């Protein structure tokens, strides 16, 4: 029987208290946009867009501002096909992209 008591004693000695051993935790940085974490003037940036949006909504010109949305909210809006600008077809977007790239490449030369 002394063999069984030594096994029980060794098991109790091997138990660790996880609350004591894992005291250091980290959490994600809280920011509206995932890519805006390292900006110094973040509060002023958001506040200016917020005030501009409030001003536009009082004038009856209010609309959804991507500057105040998170990156995932912007992605969902794009996936749904909700665009702030004009309603453009895919072919028109291709033409605009071609002309933009042509202008950009001719300006560099």
Q: How far is CA 8 from CA 18, 69, 105, in A?
A: 20, 57, 77
**pLDDT digits over 23-64, tens only?**
666 766 556 666 677 777 888 888 998 999 899 999 988 888
Torsion of CA 66, 67, 69, 70, to 10 degrees: 110
pTM of the model: 0.45
At 32, is the secondary structure helix, strand, or coil? coil
pLDDT at 98: 93
pLDDT at 86: 64
Q: Which of 91, 92, 45 is nearest to 68 (CA)?
A: 45
- How many residues are there in the chain? 109
């Amino acid at each position: 029987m002394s063999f069984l008591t030594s096994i029980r004693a060794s098991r109790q000695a091997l138990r660790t208290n996880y609350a004591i051993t894992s005291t250091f935790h980290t959490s994600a940085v809280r920011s509206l946009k995932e890519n805006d974490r390292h900006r110094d003037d973040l509060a002023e940036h958001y506040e200016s867009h917020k005030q501009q949006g409030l001003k536009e909504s009082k004038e009856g010109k209010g609309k959804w501002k991507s500057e105040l949305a998170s990156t995932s909210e912007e992605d969902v809006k794009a996936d749904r096909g909700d665009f702030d600008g004009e309603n453009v077809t895919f072919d028109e977007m291709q033409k605009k992209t071609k002309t933009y790239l042509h202008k950009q490449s001719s300006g560099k030369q």
